[in-house]
């Protein structure tokens, strides 16, 4: 009886002891994090001071400085980087670069404010590159550098419209001698009421504290870059009543009597999308490397476009064949497409359902285009 009672009391005190241990651990964890951020939270908005301009006034162009290649950082370190499309590339940014002689000094100077680059002109608009070295609060998670592309609203005030632009952000990484690049797959929409777009959580601030990672180098320097590609797909007023077509500018073409098409190529005839005229051009027996084995399929501009086009080409079957073109026209065809769009054997295979009453159904969906001479 007595020993039983004592055992119970022992269990009781072990339980109480463990409970306090648990509470202690939880409290420590709860207090540690906010305390870590306290310094940042207490900082107030600061404005960029004139002398910051000095950081970009280096004699060497920020994106074209010389550097020596050194050993690569192990892959495990790269895996920490986050975002949808991320690569390292050799080629410097093409639109604009900002070099900070000292990331740490700039960061101290700006506190919780932002560094806004001088304006640069692209695609008919003026832009600035905005960097928040301590994050754009409250959008940014604690401990991240934020980066934004900002369109100058003066031309939008005079002529309100939507501007779509594909944006890439870069940071030079000395240890790889390459540019870390973050690219969004879709073009971003800018307009009067939303003049800036970017990444609140671009890279952890800690990357810019550790020279070993290579984002800062030569005594704390860092280089940020941006590419802005303004897509100029549609004339707002011409397409206003076809708003659906802006998002889904689809053209379908039935190529009838497919098995007795003996000419080299056939054209769909001109159709209009986004206020421009286009044609589909098909080689039923292939051209170039596709000759004799593949269907060759191209989107061609009927109004002399030679710039960037992003479009999906499709041949309809039980399972459609779809391929995307993106970029400048193919030099040989002067169009956007593929010598080897799909094997002829697949078309002839009746189980795949491409030929219906000897007709092939071809579609194009034009997603965006621009004239390079506008840039």
Ligand X SMILES: *[C@@H]1O[C@H](CO)[C@@H](O)[C@H](O)[C@H]1NC(C)=O
| Residue ranges that bind ligand X, judged by CB under 6 A | 101-102, 105, 119, 121, 124-126, 152-155, 157, 192, 256-257, 260
Beta-sheet strands, E only, within 205-320? 222-231, 250-255, 266-267, 271-273, 276-283, 294-301, 309-315
Smallest gap from Cβ 39 to ligand X, in A, equals: 18
Smallest gap from Cβ 256 to ligand X, in A, equals: 4
CB-nearer residue toward ligand X: 110 or 367: 110
CB-nearer residue toward ligand X: 88 or 197: 197
CB-nearer residue toward ligand X: 74 or 219: 219
Whole-number Å distance between alpha carbons of 365 and 275: 14
Q: How is residue 181 written in tokens?
A: 């690049």
Smallest gap from Cβ 234 to ligand X, in A, equals: 19
Tell me the residue length of the chain: 375
Task: Return the number of other C-beta atoms located less than 10 Å from residue 359's C-beta.
Answer: 14
Smallest gap from Cβ 279 to ligand X, in A, equals: 21
Task: Return the number of other C-beta atoms located less than 10 Å from residue 316's C-beta.
Answer: 17
**Cross-strand partners of 120:** 127
Smallest gap from Cβ 257 to ligand X, in A, equals: 4
CB-nearer residue toward ligand X: 10 or 374: 374
CB-nearer residue toward ligand X: 257 or 372: 257
Whole-number Å distance between alpha carbons of 248 and 229: 21
Half-sphere exposure of 117 (CA within 13 A, CB side): 28
Whole-number Å distance between alpha carbons of 168 and 185: 10
Smallest gap from Cβ 222 to ligand X, in A, equals: 11
Query: Which residue in 174, 199, 205, 213 sits closest to 86, CA to CA?
Result: 199
Q: How is residue 167 written in tokens?
A: 């944006």
Smallest gap from Cβ 307 to ligand X, in A, equals: 19
CB-nearer residue toward ligand X: 70 or 256: 256
Rg, Å, the chain Cα set: 29
CB-nearer residue toward ligand X: 229 or 278: 229
């Amino acid at each position: 009886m007595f020993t039983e009672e004592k055992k119970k009391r022992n269990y009781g005190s072990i339980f109480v002891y463990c409970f306090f241990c648990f509470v202690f651990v939880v409290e420590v964890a709860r207090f540690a994090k906010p305390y870590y951020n306290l310094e940042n939270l207490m900082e107030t908005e600061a404005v960029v001071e004139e002398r910051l301009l000095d950081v970009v006034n280096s004699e060497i162009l920020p994106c074209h400085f010389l550097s020596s290649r050194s050993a690569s950082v192990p892959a495990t370190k790269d895996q920490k980087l986050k975002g949808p499309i991320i690569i390292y590339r050799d080629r410097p940014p093409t639109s604009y670069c900002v070099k900070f002689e000292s990331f740490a000094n700039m960061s101290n100077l700006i506190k919780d404010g932002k560094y806004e680059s001088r304006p640069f002109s692209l695609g008919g608009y003026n832009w600035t590159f905005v960097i928040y070295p301590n994050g754009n609060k409250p959008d940014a998670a604690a401990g991240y550098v934020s980066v934004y592309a900002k369109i100058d609203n003066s031309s939008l005030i005079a002529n309100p419209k939507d501007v779509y632009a594909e944006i890439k952000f870069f940071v030079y990484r000395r240890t790889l001698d390459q540019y870390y690049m973050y690219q969004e797959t879709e073009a971003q929409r800018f307009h009067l009421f939303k003049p800036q777009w970017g990444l609140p959580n671009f890279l952890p601030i800690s990357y810019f504290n550790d020279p070993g990672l290579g984002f800062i180098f030569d005594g704390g320097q860092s280089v940020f870059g941006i590419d802005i590609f303004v897509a100029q797909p549609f004339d707002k007023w011409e397409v206003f009543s076809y708003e659906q077509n802006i998002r889904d500018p689809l053209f379908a073409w039935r190529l009838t009597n497919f098995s007795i098409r003996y000419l080299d190529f056939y054209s769909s005839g001109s159709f209009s999308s986004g206020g421009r005229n286009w044609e589909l051009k098909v080689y039923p027996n292939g051209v170039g490397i596709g000759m004799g084995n593949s269907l060759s399929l191209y989107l061609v501009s009927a109004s002399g476009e030679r710039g960037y086009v992003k479009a999906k080409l499709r041949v309809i079957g039980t399972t459609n064949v779809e391929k995307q073109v993106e970029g400048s026209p193919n030099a040989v065809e002067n169009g956007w497409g593929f010598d080897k769009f799909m094997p002829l054997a697949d078309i002839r295979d009746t189980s795949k359902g491409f030929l219906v009453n000897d007709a092939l159904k071809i579609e194009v969906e034009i997603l965006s285009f621009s004239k390079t001479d506008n840039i």
